[in-house]
Chains A and B, each alone.
Chain A
Amino acid sequence: MWVYEKKLQYPVRVSKCDPRMAKLLLEQYGGADGELAAALRYLNQRYSIPDKVIGLLTDIGTEEFAHLEMIATMVYKLTKDATPQQLDAAGLGPHYVAHDSALFYSNAAGVPWTAAYIQAKGDPIADLYEDIAAEEKARATYQWLIDMTDDVDLQDGLKFLREREIVHSLRFREAVEILKEEREVRKVF
């Protein structure tokens, strides 16, 4: 069960209408290492991971949905005042003719999200290493997104998200150690 909270995790501000950045941000909306993939990856892994790590996957998976909402808010704010001509000039013409101003789960190149982006190996170490890699890839993408804009308000929100990936990666690394320790204990007795 989930309960919705009617607020963003962190304030999202943008200082201008910028459909070009909105298009690029879609990478973190419906891309391979984006927030939707992250949330679904972690929450889905919970059912086969050892008990000691279920809480962490639940909590990080849930936080990813808060990040997804932040990205959606950025895209919404960056495009809400754009004309179809401006969207087209930013490369969002194909998006506009299919979706008008609706958001859609695709990456920055317009490729729709697919479950093939997320793995579920059932092997706890393999799954956690995938999670660590996903966090590092998301961190790298946030850095490149920050590099692509001079909007300091937008950068502020993106920097928050970049830092969250670093913390998630750290926690997943600790989870790996916890499972390794547990395995050692089992060998001893």
Chain B
Amino acid sequence: MNAHPFHTEEYRQALEQLQVVDFVLLELNLYLDTHPWDVQAIQQFNHYTHERMKIANQFQEKYGPLQNYGHAYSGCPWSWIETPWPWQV
């Protein structure tokens, strides 16, 4: 019997990879909110924004959309309503 894709170590790692890059971006974002002229931080922000896009696309191809309202493609049936929701992981 195959393990449910969301109950695998692979899923946990993919999710964590996304959480890590998103944390870097969030931290840079808040820092830049009060240091808007820090060109190095802006370069880092743009670099990780690009990385984030790649990581999120890979994640979504395997595990479904991360965002609603047209920020991610859907399979059939409508993928958005599929479990697990974040608290069920």
Contacts and interface: CB of A to CB of B under 8 A. Distances in A.
Contact of B67 (A6, A8, A9, A168): A6
B42 interface: no
Given A6-B65, A69-B87, A77-B87, A56 B16 contact: no
B69 A3 contact: yes
B19 A171 contact: no
B50 interface: no
B18 interface: yes
Contacts of A3: 67-69, 71
Contacts of A59: 26, 29-30, 33
A6 B60 CA distance: 11
Contact of A8 (B27, B30, B80, B86): B86
Interface in B59-89: 64-69, 71, 80, 85-87, 89
Contact of A9 (B19, B66, B85): B19
A76 B86 CA distance: 11
Interface string B10-54: 001001101100110011011101110000000000000000000
Contacts of A117: none
A175 B36 CA distance: 12
Nearest to A58: B33
Nearest to A54: B33
Interface size class of B (residues with CB under 8 A): 20 to 34
Contact of B33 (A5, A6, A11, A171): A171
Contacts of B31: 171
A72 B27 CA distance: 23
A60 interface: yes
Contacts of A76: 87
A9 B18 CA distance: 9
- Which has the most chain A C-beta neighbours within 10 Å: B18, B71, B80, B86? B86
A175 B23 contact: no
Interface of B: 12, 15-16, 18-19, 22-23, 26-27, 29-31, 33-35, 64-69, 71, 80, 85-87, 89
Given A7-B66, A11-B15, 4 more contacts: A3-B67, A6-B67, A8-B19, A168-B30
